[in-house]
Amino acid sequence: MSRVDLDAFRADTRAWLEDNAPASLRGRPGDMFHGTWGGRRGDFESDDHRVWLERMAARGWTAPTWPAEYGGGGLSRKEAAVLAEELKRLKLPAPLIGFGLVMIGPTLLQFGTEAQKRQHLPGIIKGEIRWCQGYSEPGSGSDLASLQTSAVRDGEQYVINGQKIWTSYAEKSDWIFCLVRTDPGARKQEGISFILVDMASPGVTTKPIKLISGASPFCEVFFDDVRAEARDVIGGVNAGWTVAKALLQHERTMVGEVFARSVLGGQQELLALARAAGLGPPEGSLEAPLVRDRIAQSAMDERAFMLTVQRLQDNARAGQPPGPESSILKVYGTELNQRRRQLAVEIAGADGLGWSGDAYDDGALGLTRDWLRSRGNTIEGGTSEIQLNIIAKRVLGLPDAGGAA
C-alpha cells in the first residue's frame, strides 16, 4: 500500500472514529487485562462499552488483521498500525479483550481447517464467545507434556475425563481449548491432542480458587465423561503438542507486549509516588539519591525493552508468527514489571499497604494488589525459569538442561 493510500486510510479511520467512538470512552485507554471480555454471560461496564464493541465488531476492527471472510477487518499490518495509532490518539480502550483474540484465534488461523475457522472465528470477533485455556493440571505445570486428562474416541466424539487447574476465568468462559491425552502408550509429547470443548457440555464443572490478593480469577475444571466433537481437534490427533507450543508463543508475546506498553511512562508514576512520599519537591530532581538511581535504572530498562519489542514487532509485521524469542519478551516484561511494582510499594512506604475495600485502582489498595498480581505474571504462561531454559536451548542453542519447552 502506497503512502498516499495509507494517508487516505488514516483520514477515513480518523473520521469514522470521531463519528462512532462514544465520547464517554475517550481518554480511558484501559489495557489487555481490564476491559470488555464478551461472552454469553458477559456484562458491560456501561451501555457505551456495548455500543463501542458492536460498532467496532461490525467493521471487524476487534480483530483488525484477521481475514474479512471470517468477520475480521482484513487490514494489512500497516493499516492495523494506523488504526492502533488513531485509537491511541483518542485514548480509546480496545473494544474487546480476551484469550479468543490473543491465543486461540491466532492459533486457529495458523492450524485450523477451513471449517474450524468458519465455526469459531466469527464468535470471537463479535465478542459472543469467551475462551479459557485448559493446559495446567495438578501434577503438570512446567512439565506440561506429562498431562493426564484423557480423551477416548467414541464414534464422532471424544469422551474426556480428568482435571485442569489454574484455568483463568473458567467460570465466565463459554469454550475451553484443552490439551488431552489421546495416546497413553506414545512418548509423552506424541500422545497429546488439542481439542475445543463447550463449557456448557454435561460433565464440565468449575470450582473457583481464591487468591491472596482477594480476587478469584481462576478455577479448577473437572471433566467427567464430557463429550466433545472429534471435528474440534485442532492440528490433527496426537499432534497437539505442536499446536500447544505455538499458542504459548502467541500468549508469551502478548504478555510481554502488555508490559512493554503498561510500563511506558512508568517512571512518571514512580516519580509522583516519590514526591507524594516527601522525597522531593513537586518539580525538579528528587532529593533521595538511592530512589533517584533506582527510578532512573527502571526507566533505562524500559527503554531498552521497548526497543527489543519493536524489533520483534517488525518481524511480526513481516508476517512471521512468533518463535521461541517470545520467551524473551515474556521473561523480561514480567520481571521488569515486578521490579517496578516492588519499587512502587517501597517508595510509598506505609501508604503502599492497602488491604480492605473493593476498588482495585484505588490508591494504596491498587499498589498492593498490583504488586501481588505481578508475582503471578512471572508464573502464568510458563515460569521465568522455564523461559530461561527455552531461551538457552532454542534461541542460544545451548545444550538441553531439561524441563518443558
What count of other Cβ atoms lies within 10 Å of the Cβ of residue 301?
Answer: 17
> Which one of the spans 193-201, 223-231, 351-359, 377-385 is the region binding ligand FAD (CB under 6 A)?
377-385
Of the candidates 376, 392, 394, 395, which one interacts with ligand FAD according to CB under 6 A?
376
Q: Where are the alpha helices (DSSP H) in 114-177?
A: 114-125
Spatial separation of the C-alpha atoms in residues 125 and 121, rounded to whole Å: 6
What x-and-dash track marks residues 116-155 binding ligand FAD by CB under 6 A? ----------------xxxxx----xx-------------
Report if residue 390 touches ligand FAD, rule: CB under 6 A: no
Looking at the Cβ atoms of 95 and 217, the one nearer to ligand FAD is 217
Report if residue 70 touches ligand FAD, rule: CB under 6 A: no
Report if residue 383 touches ligand FAD, rule: CB under 6 A: yes
- Beta pairing, strands 131-134 & 175-181: parallel
Of the candidates 45, 220, 229, 380, which one interacts with ligand FAD according to CB under 6 A?
380
For residue 16, count CB atoms less than 10 angstroms from its CB and return exposed for 0-12, middle for 13-18, buried for 19 or more: middle
- Site size for ligand FAD (CB under 6 A): 21
Report if residue 382 touches ligand FAD, rule: CB under 6 A: yes
For 335, the enclosing helix (H) or strand (E) is: helix 326-348
Cell triple for residue 373?
498480581
Cell triple for residue 260?
512493554
For 161, the enclosing helix (H) or strand (E) is: strand 157-168
Of the candidates 72, 389, 390, 391, which one interacts with ligand FAD according to CB under 6 A?
389
Spatial separation of the C-alpha atoms in residues 405 and 326, rounded to whole Å: 12
The yes-or-no answer on residue 251 being catalytic is: yes
Cell triple for residue 13?
479511520
> What is the 3-state composition of the chain as percent helix, strand, coil, each rounded to the nearest 5?
50, 15, 35
| Helix, coil or strand: residue 155 | coil
Q: How far is the CB of 322 from ligand FAD (least distance, A)?
A: 18
Side-chain-facing half-sphere of 386: CA atoms under 13 Å: 19
Q: How far is the CB of 46 from ligand FAD (least distance, A)?
A: 27
Beta bridge partners of 181: 150, 192
Report if residue 74 touches ligand FAD, rule: CB under 6 A: no
Report if residue 385 touches ligand FAD, rule: CB under 6 A: yes
User: Can you say how many angstroms the Cα of residue 392 is from the centroid of all Cα atoms in its chain?
Assistant: 24
Report if residue 218 touches ligand FAD, rule: CB under 6 A: yes
Report if residue 374 touches ligand FAD, rule: CB under 6 A: no
Looking at the Cβ atoms of 289 and 402, the one nearer to ligand FAD is 402
Spatial separation of the C-alpha atoms in residues 362 and 306, rounded to whole Å: 28
Using Cβ positions, the residue closest to ligand FAD within the complex turns out to be 141
What x-and-dash track marks residues 308-337 binding ligand FAD by CB under 6 A? ------------------------------
What count of other Cβ atoms lies within 10 Å of the Cβ of residue 15?
Answer: 11
Q: How far is the CB of 327 from ligand FAD (least distance, A)?
A: 13
Report if residue 162 touches ligand FAD, rule: CB under 6 A: no
Residues that bind ligand FAD (CB under 6 A): 132-136, 141-142, 166-168, 218, 376, 379-380, 382-383, 385-386, 389, 402-403
